[in-house]
C-alpha cells in the first residue's frame, strides 16, 4: 500500500443527509483523492466520539483525515495537509477554516496565526490529518467514559496524540469550511 494513502472518516446521523452529501462532495472534489471514504452512521445517538471511533477502527491506510458531516474540505485540503506533514515530518497536521457564515471564528486570532507549541498546546479542531497508528492508540471515547465535565473530543484527541510524542504541526492556511449554521451541538455529551 502507498505509504501516503489517506482514508477520510466522516461520522453522521441519519437526519443530516443533505449535510453529509455536501461533505462527501467536498471530499470527492479533492485535488489529492483519498484511497477510501468511510461514513459511519450513529443510529443509536451515541455521539460523534463513539461513531468516529468505529470509523477509525476500519481504516487500513497509513493516514486518516477526519471531517464532521456538517463541514467541508476546500479542494486542496488533503494535498496541502499531506505535503505539510511530509515537509515537516509531522504525525498530526491541522489547518484552519473559513467560517460560514463568515466572521464567526470562536477561537482567538492567534490560534490561526501561531505555530503549534507542544509546551503550551492550544485547542485544535478535529479536522486533521493523522498517522493512523497514533490515532488508533489515542482513539475517541464517549464523554461518559472520558470522565470529564466537557465533551471536548477534539482537545482530548490532540492532547492524547501529544502525550504519545506525536509531532503536531499547524499549517497556517485556511483549507476547509466550518459551518456554524448547521445546528452545532458540540457542547452536548452526545456531540451532535
Whether the pLDDT of residue 188 is over 50: the answer is no
Quick check: is 187 in a domain? no
Which among 124, 128, 110 has a CA at the least distance from the CA of 7?
Answer: 128
Quick check: is 184 in a domain? no
Supply the range of the domain harboring residue 173.
6-179
Cβ contact 16:70 at 8 Å: yes
Average pLDDT of span 130-145:
86
- The CB density around residue 112, as the number of other CB atoms within 10 Å, is 15
56-105 tens-digit pLDDT = 999 999 999 999 999 999 999 999 999 999 999 999 999 999 998 876 78
28-38 tens-digit pLDDT = 999 999 999 99
pLDDT reported for residue 143: 56
Whether the pLDDT of residue 150 is over 70: the answer is no
DSSP per-residue string spanning 116-169: P-TTS-----S-EEEEHHHHHHH----HHHHT-SS--HHHHHHHHHHHTT--EE
What is the pLDDT confidence band of residue 187, given thresholds at 50, 70 and 90?
very low
Quick check: is 78 in a domain? yes
What is the pLDDT confidence band of residue 15, given thresholds at 50, 70 and 90?
confident
pLDDT reported for residue 120: 93
Whether the pLDDT of residue 11 is over 60: the answer is yes
Quick check: is 127 in a domain? yes
Task: Classify burial at 69, counting beta carbons within 10 Å of its beta carbon; exposed 0-12, middle 13-18, buried 19 or more.
Answer: buried
Quick check: is 1 in a domain? no
Quick check: is 191 in a domain? no
pLDDT reported for residue 2: 95
pLDDT reported for residue 186: 45
Structural domain total, the chain: 1
pLDDT reported for residue 13: 92
pTM comes to 0.91
The cell for 57 is 477502527
Residue with cell 503550551: 120
Maximum distance among all Cα pairs of the chain, rounded to whole angstroms = 41
What's 36's domain CATH number? 3.90.550.10
Quick check: is 192 in a domain? no
Task: Classify burial at 20, counting beta carbons within 10 Å of its beta carbon; exposed 0-12, middle 13-18, buried 19 or more.
Answer: buried
Quick check: is 16 in a domain? yes
Amino acid at each position: 500500500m502507498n505509504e501516503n494513502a489517506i482514508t477520510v472518516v466522516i461520522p453522521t446521523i441519519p437526519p443530516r443527509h443533505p449535510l453529509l452529501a455536501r461533505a462527501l462532495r467536498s471530499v470527492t472534489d479533492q485535488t489529492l483523492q483519498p484511497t477510501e471514504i468511510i461514513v459511519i452512521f450513529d443510529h443509536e445517538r451515541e455521539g460523534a466520539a463513539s461513531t468516529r471511533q468505529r470509523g477509525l477502527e476500519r481504516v487500513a491506510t497509513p493516514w486518516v483525515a477526519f471531517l464532521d458531516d456538517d463541514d467541508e474540505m476546500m479542494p486542496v485540503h488533503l494535498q496541502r495537509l499531506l505535503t505539510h506533514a511530509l515537509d515537516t515530518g509531522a504525525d498530526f497536521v491541522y489547518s484552519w477554516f473559513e467560517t460560514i457564515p463568515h466572521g464567526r471564528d470562536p477561537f482567538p486570532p492567534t490560534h490561526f496565526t501561531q505555530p503549534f507549541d507542544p509546551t503550551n498546546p492550544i485547542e485544535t479542531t478535529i479536522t486533521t490529518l493523522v498517522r493512523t497508528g497514533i490515532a488508533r492508540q489515542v482513539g475517541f471515547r464517549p464523554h461518559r467514559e472520558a470522565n470529564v465535565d466537557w465533551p471536548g473530543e477534539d482537545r482530548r484527541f490532540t492532547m492524547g496524540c501529544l502525550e504519545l510524542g506525536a509531532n503536531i504541526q499547524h499549517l497556517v492556511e485556511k483549507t476547509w469550511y466550518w459551518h456554524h449554521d448547521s445546528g452545532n451541538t458540540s457542547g452536548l455529551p452526545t456531540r451532535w
